[in-house]
Structure 1
Amino acid sequence: MQKNLILEKAKNIADEALKGKNYELVDIEFVKEGGNWYLRYYIDKPGGVTLDDCQEVSEEISRLLDIYDPIPQRYILEVSSPGVERPLKKDSDFIRFKGKEIEVKTFEPISGKKSFAGILVDFIDGVIVLKEKDTNFSIPKDKISSARLKFNFKFDEQER
């Protein structure tokens, strides 16, 4: 079965499992690693997700996967938080995280670059504005191959 079709069916299952609940579906992956297939759901909610949240969602998704059986091969189901460096994919992600530090990679060079890191200044009409040092870059969303929050580990000199 085509990977895109599996992902589409997996998303429909997630939509049903999360309907009316306070969870957001951040991303879905269907990947082969070390000889095993993995179906990974990344969820979030205001204040972050806990292990109990992941277990609750995993049990509901597993129940629906058993009913609809959209994947012919064996796979391992995982449900987790997207982490501190969560991916930004939807328009609402770029709006929600304005003012935050992000990393962006593009399919093709923009202003001679394919990799950017800076502050997400704005998102207007499908274009992000990213401030890197003293320069603003306008990057069309359809040119972005990946975007994610950037987490900086800052250590207090006294903690060392």
Structure 2
Amino acid sequence: MDADLSAHNGLEGRLVALISPALDDMGYEIVRVAVLGRERPTVQIMADRADGTLIGVEDCERISHAVGALLDVEDPIPGAWTLEVSSAGIDRPLTRAKDWNRFAGHQAKVELMVPQDGRRRFGGVVLGCDAGVARMRLDDGQEVALPLAEIRRARLVLTDALIEASAPPGQPGTESDTDTAPDGGHDDGAAPSARPGRNAGRKVH
């Protein structure tokens, strides 16, 4: 498992360890894995291409087929489950040290699991990450160091600069070009691929 994904634990950590090698071989990287619900849990996988570009619908379908087959064989989740695969989107979560370094200079919002200096939430400019510590310059000019292991969630803020930086070469992005992603962010227009597990039919929407 990528050390940058070590924050995943329990079932999510086991899923990352199970599916990462297969996706690596296919040229993809896991950005985040989440398991939601109990009676029929939904496994949400957010991924990128290994080169850092956003994935499309066909990529979601490929990942869904490969991961679904692994889960069917390895059976890490008792009972029925649903698999959803989607792009990380433009205003993406920052889950790995490489994300913090790649998007240095862009705006982000962070929530910690444990308060630091009396606060849990921070907003400002990403400065990078080293030695497991993410650095930000807050709106008041103060710089803070936030241990990755203590970050509950972190996400880029959608700005014109971020849209421009995320657009393919020669294709400047505009905010109107983006669609709302399932988690409330924006993506590149790629719909998530959904795959009901346990011998159920497969659908893409």
| TM-score where L is the length of structure 2 | 0.65
**Number of corresponding residues:** 152
**For residue 107 of structure 1, what is the aligned residue in structure 2?**
113
10-19 vs 42-51, which moves further: 10-19
Alignment of 1:11-160 (within 5 A): 11-32=16-37, 36-45=40-49, 46-133=52-139, 134-152=141-159
**For residue 164 of structure 2, what is the aligned residue in structure 1?**
none
Per-residue Cα deviation, 1:13-57 (whole angstroms, up to 9, x for no partner)? 322321322211011111107x53101111112321100000011
Alpha-carbon distance between aligned partners in 1 of 2:61 and 2:122, rounded to the nearest angstrom = 35
**For residue 200 of structure 2, what is the aligned residue in structure 1?**
none
Alpha-carbon distance between aligned partners in 2 of 1:69 and 1:37, rounded to the nearest angstrom = 13
Per-residue Cα deviation, 1:56-111 (whole angstroms, up to 9, x for no partner)? 11011111222212211211111111222222122222222211211111223333
21-30 vs 127-136, which moves further: 127-136
Structure 1: runs of 5+ lacking an equivalent: none
Instruction: Give 1:137 shift.
Output: 1.9
Equivalent AA in structure 2 for residue 42 of structure 1: M
Instruction: Give 1:117 shift.
Output: 1.0
Alpha-carbon contact 1:85-1:151 (below 8 Å) kept:
yes
Pairwise CA RMSD:
2.4
Alpha-carbon distance between aligned partners in 2 of 1:69 and 1:63, rounded to the nearest angstrom = 10
Instruction: Give 1:146 shift.
Output: 1.4
Alpha-carbon distance between aligned partners in 1 of 2:88 and 2:111, rounded to the nearest angstrom = 18
Alpha-carbon distance between aligned partners in 1 of 2:77 and 2:92, rounded to the nearest angstrom = 26
Change (3 A) 1:108 1:92: same
Structure 2: runs of 5+ lacking an equivalent: 1-8, 162-173, 176-205
Alpha-carbon contact 1:17-1:57 (below 8 Å) kept:
no
| TM-score where L is the length of structure 1 | 0.81
Q: What percentage of residue pairs aligned between the two structures are identical? A: 28
Equivalent AA in structure 2 for residue 151 of structure 1: L
Alpha-carbon distance between aligned partners in 2 of 1:152 and 1:108, rounded to the nearest angstrom = 28
Change (3 A) 1:8 1:130: closer
Change (3 A) 1:5 1:136: closer
